[in-house]
Amino acid sequence: MKSLLLLSTMIIALSCTTQRQNDLSNDQTIKESFNSTEINDLTKIQRFFDKSIGLTKSDKQEDLERVYTDFFLQNAYIEKISDFKLSINFNDQKELYNQLDQKTFNNIWTISWSTKWGSNDTLKHIKLNHQGKYVEFLKASGEHDSVINNYCNSLEIAGDISPTMVADLIKNYKNYKVNNPKIRLLIAIHYLTLNDQFERKEKY
């Protein structure tokens, strides 16, 4: 009986340790790149994305990897077409934006404009802010992580999330280790950006 209790305690402790390791606020590069308000906002972004793809706070490490793998496999078609639809509610995503400090939003994204093929309408277009803290964070993280470095280099060359970057994350998702909080944040912001670009229909 004592052995069973000890084993249960060890499993719970290991689960808590894993959750702390996956916490953005415990990552050294994140702590060096963002202030406490920004980290709190990034955590909101991460939790929103996790919830959108079916992950809950109580899920264990193996559930984390399974849910993310299922998400990648379900969206494997994205690399083949330019227009796609994710299972992320855009109204909920806009509500998430309202919960963020404006400085945090501006350090991740910037609003520019684009025109749709076959139309003269000029529409708002969200993209990653190359002068913001988030891209600087990617550069710093890329010094020690080849996957993030390749992503960041592609972003700099293309100026925006390119079809090649979309295809790479889908095809090579196993290289994106979701137990790494920096990688999970990259994935969350990557797909929220794409979802916004597809769903937003506001005139500039």
In a domain, 51, yes or no: yes
Residue 204 lies in a domain: no
76 is a domain residue = yes
Domain count, the chain: 1
Query: Among all chains, which residue has been given the structure tokens 């969350």?
Result: 188
Q: In 53-201, which residue ranges form alpha helices assigned H by DSSP?
A: 61-74, 90-99, 102-108, 133-142, 146-158, 163-171, 181-199
CA distances in angstroms from 14 to 17, 19, 21, 94, listed in the order given = 5, 9, 10, 36
- Provide the pLDDT for residue 118: 64
- 96-118 average pLDDT score: 91
14 domain residue, yes or no: yes
Q: Which of 54-68, 93-107, 123-137, 159-173 has the lowest mean pLDDT?
A: 54-68
| 108 in any annotated domain | yes
| Domain of residue 169, residue span | 2-199
The residue type of 30 is I
Give a yes or no: residue 150 inside a domain: yes
> Stretch 40-44: mean pLDDT, rounded?
98
pLDDT exceeds 70 at position 18: no
